[in-house]
């Protein structure tokens, strides 16, 4: 961490470009903010007086960033400045003010804020300077990006993991949850207890490059296709968050990507408005996945522990990662009481339309027909394995079949529930209905990004 005197000097140097701002010039404004949050008491007091006199609200985001580094008992003078500039009392915590900033879409930070934000994050880890810098292309508000508590790559990704056939996986327990993937004719399972520590996995299944991004804070594991013109896109954990959702980064361009939307949100790829293609992934129990796909392989936990787990002292026992981060939360300003904050939903997005299906409701109603974004779908749930899959219905109507993994249409024909499609089983001519992407998430995390989402079974999802 930079010492206060050196840091103030760096601020002056970095913010010396001649940009005209509101009320206070950027260089003077950020100099005063730096003195307020890191200067000697006398200088901080003078800076507070000057900032209040200027009434320049465009400096509020910068002051909130600096608030993070001030111990709680010493925040009162800075909180007073924020109250005076905004006319609001958002509370005494840093996260309280981050949420306030989120509600103020009209509050644009003073020019030079990208440099200021970069400097703040580099006080934590110099590597963050490769992600946020002067002039960085952005599709999200830099003001809402917060540090997640680890440095760049502080949570190590799993790259090209070792696997073993199901018959050799004696370390797996029947009822444990796995993320099941099917690509290029290959079935693979990734134990959730492992992804709960690593959160990011890059693999090639068959000949399909994939990335499984698991944001444990908002309960969303999303599978993305990652081929590029010259190979594949390798993703890592940036250590930064946006609305309590992890920001991934790619190791080629150091652009930031949203775990939940798959969009490039910061950096060169954001400038190109790039987005990753999401693919179906099945969260289910190992026993049912193995029985349905006996040819599957599974991530080799003992071998992974020898290669990586011991270095980071990870305990791959089920629930260990959840216990380690119990009580950890980050700011999300968009909130809705339509469901409980951490209620689990199955999230479906088709085009611009988003819909949330409460898991409890799905397990009570194993076959649901619906319309999302003008597309007729059928959501198929298995309360025994926990698996949920969504398919285009093509106008067909289904009821649960006599056997697990089977549906019957209105004519009594049997359809198999498969990973890639819903397939007609009793017909001379093959017919199938495409599977669509979807994933489990906590309600608060999904709503933070998709406030216009519909909730199945609810009249409306009204915000608080």
State the pLDDT confidence band at 72, using cuts at 50, 70 and 90: confident
Topology (CATH level 3) of domain 158-324: Rieske Iron-sulfur Protein (2.102.10)
What mean pLDDT do residues 177-203 have? Answer: 97
Whether the predicted pLDDT of 224 surpasses 50: yes
Give residue 366's pLDDT. Answer: 95
**How confident is the model over 113-149, as pLDDT tens digits?**
999 999 999 999 999 999 999 999 999 999 999 999 9
pLDDT category of residue 426 using cuts at 50, 70 and 90: confident
Say whether 344-455 and 158-324 share the same fold.
yes
pLDDT at 461 over 70: no
Going by pLDDT thresholds of 50, 70 and 90, the confidence category of residue 46 is: very high
How does the average pLDDT of the chain come out, rounded? 92
The predicted pLDDT at position 18 comes to 38
> What CATH number has the domain spanning 344-455?
2.102.10
Contact 395, 386 (CB under 8 A): no
pLDDT at position 5 is: 53
Query: Residue 351 above 90 pLDDT?
Result: yes
The predicted model gives 22-39 an average pLDDT of 92
Q: How far is 198 from 154, CA to CA, in rounded Å?
A: 10
pLDDT at 17: 42
The model's pLDDT over 253-308, given as tens digits with 9 standing for 90+, comes to 999 999 999 999 999 999 999 999 999 999 999 999 999 999 999 999 999 998 87
Q: What's the pLDDT at 127?
A: 97
Q: Is the pLDDT of residue 11 over 70?
A: no
What residue segments make up the domains of the chain, in order of their start? 4-123, 158-324, 344-455
Is the pLDDT at 401 greater than 50? The verdict is yes
| Residue 296, pLDDT score | 98
Mean pLDDT of 239-263: 97
Residue 5 CB partners (closer than 8 Å, separation 6+): none
pLDDT reading at 22 higher than 80: no
What is the structure's pLDDT at 10? Answer: 52
Which carries the bigger pLDDT value, residue 256 or residue 3? 256
Q: What is the pLDDT of residues 49-69, one digit of tens each?
A: 999 999 999 999 999 999 999
């Amino acid at each position: 961490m930079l010492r206060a005197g050196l840091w103030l000097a760096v601020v002056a140097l970095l913010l010396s470009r001649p940009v005209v701002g509101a009320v206070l010039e950027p260089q003077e404004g950020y100099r005063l903010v730096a003195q307020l949050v890191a200067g000697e008491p006398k200088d901080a007091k003078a800076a507070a007086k000057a900032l209040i006199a200027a009434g320049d609200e465009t400096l509020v985001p910068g002051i909130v960033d600096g608030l993070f580094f001030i111990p709680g008992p010493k925040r009162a003078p800075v909180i007073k400045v924020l109250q005076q500039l905004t006319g609001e009392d958002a509370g005494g915590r840093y996260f309280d003010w981050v949420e306030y900033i989120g509600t103020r879409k009209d509050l644009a930070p003073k020019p030079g804020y990208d440099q200021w934000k970069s400097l703040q994050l580099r006080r934590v880890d110099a590597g963050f300077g490769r992600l946020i810098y002067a002039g960085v292309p952005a599709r999200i508000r830099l003001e809402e990006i917060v540090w997640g508590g680890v440095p760049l790559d502080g949570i190590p990704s799993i790259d090209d993991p070792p696997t073993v056939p199901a018959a050799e996986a004696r370390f797996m327990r029947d009822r444990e949850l796995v993320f099941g993937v099917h690509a290029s004719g290959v079935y693979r399972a990734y134990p959730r207890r492992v992804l709960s520590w690593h959160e990011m996995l890059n693999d090639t299944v068959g000949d399909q490059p994939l990335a499984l991004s698991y944001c444990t804070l908002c309960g969303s594991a999303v599978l993305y296709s990652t081929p590029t013109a010259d190979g594949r896109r390798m993703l890592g954990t940036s250590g930064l968050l946006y609305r309590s959702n992890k920001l991934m980064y790619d190791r080629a361009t150091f652009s930031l990507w949203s775990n939940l939307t798959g969009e490039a949100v910061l950096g060169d790829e954001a400038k190109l408005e790039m987005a990753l293609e999401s693919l179906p992934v099945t969260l289910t129990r190992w026993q049912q996945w193995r029985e349905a796909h006996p040819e599957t392989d599974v991530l080799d936990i003992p071998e992974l522990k020898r290669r990586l787990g011991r270095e980071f002292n990870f305990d791959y026992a089920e629930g260990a990662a959840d216990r380690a981060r119990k009580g950890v939360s980050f700011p999300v300003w968009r909130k809705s009481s339509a469901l409980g904050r951490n209620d689990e939903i199955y999230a479906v997005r088709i085009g611009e339309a988003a819909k949330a299906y409460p898991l409890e409701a799905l397990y009570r109603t194993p076959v649901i027909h619906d319309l999302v974004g003008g597309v007729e779908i059928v959501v198929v749930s298995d309360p025994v394995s926990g698996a949920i899959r969504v398919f285009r219905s093509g106008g067909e109507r289904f009821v649960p079949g006599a056997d697990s993994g089977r549906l019957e249409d209105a004519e009594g024909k049997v359809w198999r529930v498969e990973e890639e499609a819903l397939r007609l089983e009793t017909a001379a001519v093959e017919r199938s209905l495409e599977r669509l992407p979807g994933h489990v998430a906590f309600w608060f995390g999904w709503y933070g990004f998709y406030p216009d989402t519909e909730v199945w079974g609810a009249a409306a999802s009204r915000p608080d």
